[in-house]
């Protein structure tokens, strides 16, 4: 078993507590690595190192163009190490190697995009309406950033959060999920190799209530960028208020995937499957509510079930596997509980509906791809995030009915629309209350495209040019060149 260490101030170091915990391979159900169990003392060391890096030394002095160059170097290093990093992720989260390799290979684009953006952060000169004043705004790094990530795509979230943060000139302390820390801890060596000064990028591993909470409480952390569940997000939002931290929250969803009878049904069936069974449903953007126009519902469900039935469960490292294990025992239990809840609420199961019976699968954490029909929009299975391969099919009559049902949720992360009618696509895109709307596609992301949720799905956006603003503060400077008698000191200038 490999024993990992935190990465603080440019060095791998043992946890202050002297404690480690095991990381479990979800496919085999076996411990394979020892992860340092951080606490507030490690967080304090890392935050001090990050604060120092922002205050003095090479990072504080570095020009934005140079920061950008380091980011380009890191992009190349990630590319060269993609296979190794992807395999580490699979070992920890059990998602398909094909998916994780795709993510790690795409990951450098965030560093290249924000590396190029680093020296294009500009202030403005205001044509101010006061005499003899030169007034301008500048953008400054917000301060030390705490980046707390979820277990489903650890390295992708690092790119989404740290690339804009470092482009802005911040320093970061990353807290990976306790279930999937290894790839982030190994990634730190590449950041060092790229030439980032000590203290700019730190990783403190451990549990949420210890490391995550200490990061949120730390008075010298200016901002928390978080990806995880809405319950944890809400806790962090409230806790961050005590030190008036800025927050970006990327949370969960119950995304509607909406199929009209004028859609290309082959595409739509594949899109529905991709929306819910890819990544074993463990994705924030899962299209877990399939809204199908009543005129085609029965035929559509039949085709969907036929395709879902072909999904091969197995070793996530192998290229012909479609469905990997569920990442954690708690998540496995939760998915099975939701399946029971759906059945007890009266939803009818037409595919799967329980743990996989295949004895050749080790580890025991496999759930059958599951489809429920006769789902009432008020049922819990239609309203709560399962984070597993469990689909609720709900019928609708027309556009108005589809919009009403799609928006009847506390979430607002994403939505899919399948239609051959461009006018309908435009109307639906406008009416859907979600951060992302995909038309005739699903689960597409890019470094260029802002991503994030509304309502309980979060606050703020990642990716795209605007995301760098979340790591910047605006300073307004007024310089008077007035001469002669001072202005009346008792009134506002
Ligand atoms: P989680 O909320 O349990 O944990 C996320 C992170 O928060 C982990 O690193 C955890 O250790 C930490 N944490 C836990 N308690 C904490 C606390 N009190 N203070 C500070 N940090 C704490 O989420 P998860 O189970 O790892 O991930 C699944 C969830 O993430 C799902 O709800 C999913 O929808 C969401 N998610 C959202 C996005 C997005 O971009 N919107 C992407 C992926 C996953």
250: annotated active-site residue = yes
Q: What letter would DSSP give residue 119?
A: G
CA distances from 431 to 85, 252, 285 (A): 40, 20, 18
Instruction: Output the residue whose Cα is nearest ligand 1's atom 35.
Output: 228
Q: Is the CB of 227 under 6 A from ligand 1?
A: yes
Task: Work out which ligand 1 atom sits closest to the CA atom of 177.
Answer: 9
Q: Is residue 492 part of a domain?
A: no
Residues 280 and 174 reside in one and the same domain: no
Residues 54 and 77 reside in one and the same domain: yes
Q: Is residue 493 part of a domain?
A: no
Query: CATH no. for residue 220?
Result: 3.40.605.10
Q: Is residue 95 part of a domain?
A: yes
Looking at residue 363, its pLDDT comes to 80
Supply φ then ψ for residue 370, to 5 degrees: -125, 135
Looking at residue 259, its pLDDT comes to 98
- pLDDT at 357 exceeding the cut of 90: no
Which carries the bigger pLDDT value, residue 351 or residue 361? 351
Q: Is residue 356 part of a domain?
A: yes
Task: Work out which ligand 1 atom sits closest to the CA atom of 233.
Answer: 2
Q: Is the CB of 369 under 6 A from ligand 1?
A: no
pLDDT tens sequence across 114-137: 999 999 999 999 999 999 999 999
- pLDDT at 228 exceeding the cut of 90: yes
Task: Work out which ligand 1 atom sits closest to the CA atom of 150.
Answer: 26
Element (H, E) at 165: helix 154-167
Q: Is the CB of 282 under 6 A from ligand 1?
A: no
Q: Which residue of the set 284, 368, 385, 462 is catalytic?
A: 284
Instruction: Output the residue whose Cα is nearest ligand 1's atom 22.
Output: 208
Q: Is the CB of 216 under 6 A from ligand 1?
A: yes
Nearest to 204 by CA among 177, 224, 231, 235: 177
Looking at residue 29, its pLDDT comes to 92
Number of domains the chain contains: 2
Distance of CA 173 to the CA centre of its chain: 16
Q: Is the CB of 435 under 6 A from ligand 1?
A: no
Task: Work out which ligand 1 atom sits closest to the CA atom of 451.
Answer: 40
Distance of CA 11 to the CA centre of its chain: 27
- pLDDT at 364 exceeding the cut of 80: no
Rounded Cα distance, 423 and 182, in Å: 47
Q: Is the CB of 175 under 6 A from ligand 1?
A: yes
Looking at residue 64, its pLDDT comes to 98
What token pair was written down for 374?
Answer: 């006769």
Q: Give this prediction's pTM.
A: 0.97
Instruction: Output the residue whose Cα is nearest ligand 1's atom 20.
Output: 212
CB 32 within 8 A of CB 24: yes
Q: Is the CB of 177 under 6 A from ligand 1?
A: yes
Residues 200 and 322 reside in one and the same domain: no
- pLDDT at 377 exceeding the cut of 80: yes
Residues 68 and 214 reside in one and the same domain: yes
Task: Work out which ligand 1 atom sits closest to the CA atom of 215.
Answer: 20
469: annotated active-site residue = no
Looking at residue 97, its pLDDT comes to 97
Q: Is residue 445 part of a domain?
A: no
Mutational pocket test of ligand 1: of 160, 204, 208, the residue with most ligand atoms within 8 Å of the beta carbon: 208
Residues 238 and 334 reside in one and the same domain: no
Residues 335 and 222 reside in one and the same domain: no
Q: Is the CB of 152 under 6 A from ligand 1?
A: yes
Distance 252 CA to ligand 1 centre (A): 9
Mean pLDDT of all residues in 214-221: 98
pLDDT class for 15, splitting at 50, 70, 90?
very high
Q: For the stretch 223-254, what's the b/e string if a residue is b when 16 or more beta carbons lie within 10 angstroms of its beta carbon?
A: bbbbbbebebbebbbebbeeeebbbbbbbbbb
CB 298 within 8 A of CB 261: no
Nearest to 387 by CA among 270, 257, 301, 276: 276
Q: Is residue 368 part of a domain?
A: yes
Half-sphere exposure of 236 (CA within 13 A, CB side): 34
Ordered DSSP codes for 353-405: -SB---TTSSSS--B--EEEES--TTSHHHHS---SSEEEEEEESSHHHHHHH
CB 110 within 8 A of CB 443: no
Looking at residue 358, its pLDDT comes to 82
- pLDDT at 38 exceeding the cut of 80: yes
CB 164 within 8 A of CB 465: no
Q: Is residue 44 part of a domain?
A: yes
Mean pLDDT of all residues in 66-77: 98
Residues 144 and 165 reside in one and the same domain: yes
Distance 115 CA to ligand 1 centre (A): 27
Mutational pocket test of ligand 1: of 204, 217, 228, 410, the residue with most ligand atoms within 8 Å of the beta carbon: 228
Q: Is residue 77 part of a domain?
A: yes
Instruction: Output the residue whose Cα is nearest ligand 1's atom 26.
Output: 150
Distance 341 CA to ligand 1 centre (A): 23
- pLDDT at 329 exceeding the cut of 80: yes
Give me the domain span that covers residue 319: 256-439
Rounded Cα distance, 99 and 86, in Å: 9
Residues 469 and 428 reside in one and the same domain: no
Residues 226 and 346 reside in one and the same domain: no
Looking at residue 436, its pLDDT comes to 98
pLDDT class for 359, splitting at 50, 70, 90?
confident
pLDDT tens sequence across 183-211: 999 999 999 999 999 999 999 999 999 99
404 CB-near residues (< 8 Å, 6+ apart)? none
Helix then strand then coil, in percent of the chain rounded to 5, is: 40, 20, 35
Looking at residue 127, its pLDDT comes to 97
Q: Which residue of the set 210, 250, 368, 385 is catalytic?
A: 250
Looking at residue 129, its pLDDT comes to 96
Mean pLDDT of all residues in 237-262: 98
What token pair was written down for 304?
Answer: 């969907």
């Amino acid at each position: 078993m490999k024993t990992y260490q935190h990465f603080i101030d440019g060095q791998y170091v043992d946890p202050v507590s002297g404690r480690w915990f095991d990381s479990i391979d979800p496919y085999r159900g076996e411990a394979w690595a020892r992860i340092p169990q951080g606490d507030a003392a490690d967080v304090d060391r890392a935050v001090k190192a990050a604060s120092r890096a922002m205050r003095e030394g090479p990072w504080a002095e570095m020009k934005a163009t140079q920061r950008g160059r380091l980011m380009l170097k890191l992009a190349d290093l990630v590319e060269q190490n993609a296979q190794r990093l992807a395999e580490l992720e699979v070992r920890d989260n059990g998602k398909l190697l094909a998916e994780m390799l795709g993510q790690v290979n795409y990951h450098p684009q965030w560093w290249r995009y924000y590396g190029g953006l680093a020296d294009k952060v500009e202030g403005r000169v205001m044509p101010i309406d006061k005499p003899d004043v030169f007034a301008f705004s500048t953008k400054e790094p917000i301060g030390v950033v705490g980046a707390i990530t979820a277990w489903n795509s650890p390295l992708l979230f690092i790119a989404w959060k740290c690339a804009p943060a470092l482009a802005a000139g911040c320093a970061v302390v990353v807290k990976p999920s306790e279930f999937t820390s290894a790839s982030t801890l190994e990634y730190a060596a590449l950041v060092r190799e790229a030439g980032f000064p000590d203290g700019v990028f730190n990783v403190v591993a451990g549990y949420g209530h210890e490391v995550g909470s200490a990061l949120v409480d730390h008075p010298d952390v200016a901002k928390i960028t978080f990806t995880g569940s809405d319950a944890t997000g809400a806790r962090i939002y409230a806790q961050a208020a005590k030190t008036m931290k800025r927050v970006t929250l990327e949370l969960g969803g119950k995304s509607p995937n909406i199929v009209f009878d004028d859609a290309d049904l082959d595409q739509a069936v594949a899109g529905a499957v991709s929306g819910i069974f890819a990544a074993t449903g463990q994705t924030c953007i899962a299209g877990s509510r399939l809204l199908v126009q009543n005129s085609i519902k029965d035929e559509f469900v039949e085709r969907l079930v036929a395709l879902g039935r072909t999904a091969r469960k197995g070793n996530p490292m192998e290229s012909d596997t479609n469905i990997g294990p569920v990442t954690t025992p708690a998540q496995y239990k939760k998915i099975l509980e939701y399946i029971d809840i759906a059945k007890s609420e009266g939803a009818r199961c037409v595919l799967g509906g329980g743990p996989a019976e295949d004895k050749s699968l080790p580890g025991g954490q496999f759930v059958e791809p599951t489809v429920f029909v006769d789902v009432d929009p008020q049922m819990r299975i239609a309203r709560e995030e399962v984070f597993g391969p469990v689909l609720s099919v709900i019928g609708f009559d027309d556009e108005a009915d589809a919009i009403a049902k799609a928006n009847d949720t506390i979430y607002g992360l994403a939505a899919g629309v399948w239609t051959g009618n461009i006018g309908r696509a435009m109307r639906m895109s406008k009416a859907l209350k979600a951060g992302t709307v995909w038309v005739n596609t699903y689960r597409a992301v890019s470094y260029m495209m802002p991503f994030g949720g509304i309502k309980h799905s979060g606050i703020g956006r990642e990716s795209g040019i605007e995301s760098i603003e979340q790591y910047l503060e605006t300073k307004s400077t007024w310089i008077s060149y007035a001469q002669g008698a001072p202005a009346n000191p008792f009134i506002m200038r």
